[in-house]
Each structure stands twice: as C-alpha cells, then as structure tokens.
Amino acid sequence: MTSDPEFSTAGAYVTTGEEFVRDQSYITTRITADGRDGYPVEPGRYRLVVSRACPWANRAIIVRRLLGLEDAMSLGVCGPTHDSRSWTFDLDPGGVDPVLGIPRIQDAYLRRFPDYPKGITVPAVVDVPSGAVVTNDYAQITLDLSTQWTAHHRPGAPDLYPEHLRDEIDQVARQVFTDVNNGVYRCGFAGSQEAYERAYRRLFARLDALEERLSGQRYLVGDTLTEADVRLFTTLVRFDAVYHGHFKCNRNKLTEMPVLWAYARDLFQTPGFGDTVDFDHIKRHYYVVHEDINPTQIVPAGPDLRGWLTPHGRESLGGRPFGDGTPPAPVRPEERVDPAHTAEAMAG
C-alpha cells in the first residue's frame, strides 16, 4: 500500500523539494431538489460511500447523521486502507458492497467515466440504479445535504447552514480549510524543510487564532452548531492520534491547547460527532498507507484517549447545539463504530 496520489483520500505524497499542493479537481455534479444536473433528490436512490479513516468523509457521515438522512441515503463503508487501485469494501462479507455489488469504489467511478484520470476519493455519492458515481466533491456534498435534502430531514434537524450566516460560515470554513484541514497535510507532505516550516507556522498561527475566537463563544459561528464546526472537528479529532507525530505538527498537542481541547471535547460528546469516530481506522489508515512517511507501517499504540470523555465546561458559554431542534436518535446498530475502536475502549 502506498500514498499514490491517484488513490489516496488526500491525493497526498511527498515530492522532494516541493510544497504539497492538493488536487482539488473533483466531480462537481450535484444532486439537487430541482435535478438541474440530471440527478434529482430522491430518497433511496443514492449511496454515500465513505471511509471512517478519512476526515473529508467523516464530515459527510456527521452531517448525514445530524440531519437524520439515514433512510434517504444509505451508507457504504470502505476499510481504513486501500490498495494501489482504490478504496475497497473489505469490511463487507466477501469484500463486496452489499448494495452496489462492487469490491472497490473505483468500479463506480469507471462506470461513469471509463477513462477517469483523477484520484479515486471518498466521500463519493453513487447512483444505485446505474452503479455510477455522481460526485466526490466533498465540500459541496455536505452543503447539499443541508440545503437540497430538506424535505427528508428528520423532525428537529439542526440548520447547519443558515442563510443569514452563510457568508461568515464560508469565510471561517475557507480559513479552516487552508490553514488547518489542509495545513496538516502541507506539514506532513512537505518536500523540503522550508516548505514544512512555512506550513507549520501557518497551521499554528491559525490554531492560536481559533483558540482566541472560541474563548468567548461556544461555536465558530453563531450560537449553534454549523457546517464550520463539522469541518474543524474532523481535523481536531485526528490531531493527537496522527497529525501531531505522523505529520510533524508538534508544537503542541491538542490536549495542550486548553480552549480548542475543551471545544473539541464538547463536540465529541455531542450526539452525531464522537459516535462517528473510529480511532483504530484513523490510525491504521495514516500509518499504514503513507509508506513514504512511515515506511515501517508500524501503528503507534497511543495516545491515551480517555480525555475525550472528560467534562469540558463549555456549557458556561451558552449556546444551543441544535438550536430549536433536537439531538439525533442513537446510531443504528448496523452503522455503529466497532465498540473496540472507541475512545473509551482504546483509552490507555
């Protein structure tokens, strides 16, 4: 297994002497209420394919759960690692997705684009009747789940992308993506000392700014959970487990940044966030797949994860996680993270 740019969730690899640049050319077809791109919102028609290891896919898992779209869009889960061709359904009986009937997500890409030249990435939404991928545009996928699938949201679903806050959410999300979500990769896959140090400084400058921003407010934008919080969370929850050591983002651990650590625990303990996190898959993906960074493929035993379950005290800042809505129902049995892979089970 290698971090081949054609197949890695991040399109990430080390090029000596160069700065890591993410390929952001995705399949931009959208599933919309009016079907403008030929794919109308239709419950039961589409399957969201993810890996629990991938931070970009983790966003879609969280949003789907918060909005209660389990009946409207099924979930296919790839394993934490992939081979030289693509992500594989090795968690399913016989290594075949039970709905799509394919062993690897690459098959859905090639069903629509026989000569598809770009990265085979997750998350991806697949049209079940045709077996063809619709989109892998992870940023737009979650926004469309919030804005185009409203007719199928659960009663009490939160508004993760409220119209009056969209400009601010977009601005914060851009900063978080550039300096944090992608910033950790720019550190980890830097091809020179200079490129690494530039990315390192930029990452921690942004984390310091976020620490200050969140010292006086419970959530990133407004007084409820939004898309911005989802996007930051999936990097923070992976920070100490992989980014601090594996990607050399080691000025501080998350546990040493008091405000961000409390904020991350607050989200982790909110239904829809921590119950989507599989720490075993996360660690196995990064340490096994990225052979150019970790040629031995040894997966660290740590860190101690028990702190994720400790009180965070963020309630004192006010805020209402779900606004006028309600928390999602408990995770369905078939979609639960393996109990052995949770923070409680993997605590040192």
- Per-residue three-class SS string for 74-131: EEEEECCCECCCCEECCCCHHHCCCCCCCCECHHHHHHHCCCCCCCCCCCEEEECCCC
Report the helix count and the strand count for the chain, using DSSP H and E. 9, 4
Query: What CATH number should be reported for the domain holding residue 218?
Result: 1.20.1050.10
Please indicate, yes or no, if residue 84 is contained in any of the structural domains. no
Look at residue 140 and tell me if it is in a domain: no
Does residue 310 lie in a domain region? yes
User: Strands, DSSP E only, in 113-259?
Assistant: 124-127, 132-135
Q: Is residue 286 part of a domain?
A: yes
For tokens 């879609």, the residue is: 60
Q: Does 214 reside within a domain?
A: yes
Nearest to 55 by CA among 197, 140, 177, 191: 177
Separation between Cα atoms, residue 125 and residue 141, nearest integer Å: 8
C-alpha 56/C-alpha 62 separation (Å) is 10
Q: Which two tokens stand for residue 26?
A: 């995705």
pLDDT tens by residue, the chain, 348 residues: 333 333 334 345 566 567 888 877 899 999 999 999 999 999 999 999 999 999 999 999 999 999 999 999 999 999 999 877 889 999 999 999 999 999 999 999 999 999 999 889 999 999 999 999 999 999 999 999 999 999 999 999 999 999 999 999 999 999 999 999 999 999 999 999 999 999 999 999 999 999 999 999 999 999 999 999 999 999 999 999 999 999 999 999 999 999 999 999 999 999 999 999 999 999 999 999 999 999 999 999 999 999 999 999 999 999 999 999 999 999 999 999 999 999 888 765
Residue 234 lies in a domain: yes
Q: Single out the residue of 232, 228, 294 nearest to residue 257, CA to CA.
A: 232
In a domain, 89, yes or no: no
pLDDT at 16: 58
The total of structural domains in the chain comes to: 1
Integer Cα distance of 61 and 28 in angstroms: 19
Position 4 scores a pLDDT of 31
Answer yes or no: is 41 within a domain: no
Look up the domain containing 299 and give its range: 164-341
Confidence (pLDDT) at 17:
63
CA–CA separation, 343 and 91 (whole Å): 21
Query: What would the two tokens of residue 112 be?
Result: 């629509």
Catalytically annotated residues: 54, 185
Contacts for 165 with CB less than 8 Å, ≥ 6 apart: 221, 222, 226
**Does 87 show up as a binding residue in the annotation?**
yes
Question: How far is Cα 48 from Cα 61, in angstroms, rounded to an integer?
Answer: 9
